[in-house]
Amino acid sequence: MDEHRDTPVRLDYFRLVKRLNEHLSNLGDERIDEQIQEAWAGYFQEMAITQEEIDVIGPWYNSHYTVSLSIPTLRRYVEHLRTHSFLPGQRLVDQVESDAAAILEACASMGLAGHRLSDALFQAAALVHHAAYRANYPNIDSACIRQEIESRARLADYFSRDILNEAQNGIGAAAKLGKTLFHDNEI
């Protein structure tokens, strides 16, 4: 049980976690692990999520994503569903992905592509990351910064699969990235 939670988690929220997991059939091992389902049930209770919302979000997520779901992204989908009464026919794009698309478009307009672009973006990301720490935490161990950069690169790689699927297939917000990333298959 989550030690920060005051009220016990109701059984119906455990059932909703299991129901969501049933919807996420294409995720295989990346579905919600049994060991963390109690924590998820607590968040479901906190969000007052309903079975109707699970029955919309689950199949939608299953058809548009191949990576595991997280509580913050689920919260965003619930908010979108409650605000708009529907989910779009593609993934919901977050600000980081929008920013990355804008950066890629700017780089393409400068003629940067393939390995040259990739190397430049990795170098730029490391420079920005190190500079932020140098300015705000000058005494931090550089090994900690390196570990953080590596973990962010792994996370970006993890989410790239779904973004690239849509970009290559011309779907959703990622469609315009297809022209930038696959225009000449130069990697």
The pLDDT of residue 136 is: 94
The pLDDT of residue 181 is: 84
Q: Give the tokens for residue 113.
A: 């592509």
The pLDDT of residue 172 is: 84
Q: Cα dihedral sign for 152, 46, 82, 29?
A: positive
Cα dihedral: 109, 111, 114, 120 (round 10): -90
The pLDDT of residue 3 is: 56
Q: Give the tokens for residue 51.
A: 């079975």
Separation in Å, CA 179 to CA 63, 94, 110: 23, 20, 15
94's CB contacts (< 8 A; 6+ apart) are: 73, 76
The pLDDT of residue 150 is: 94
User: How confident is the prediction along the chain (187 residues), in pLDDT tens digits per residue?
Assistant: 455 556 789 999 999 999 999 999 999 989 999 999 999 999 999 999 999 999 999 999 999 999 999 999 999 999 999 999 999 999 998 898 899 999 999 998 999 888 899 999 999 999 999 999 999 999 999 999 999 999 999 989 988 989 999 899 888 888 888 888 886 554 4
55's CB contacts (< 8 A; 6+ apart) are: 19, 23
The CB-side HSE value for 68 (13 A sphere, CA atoms) comes to 9
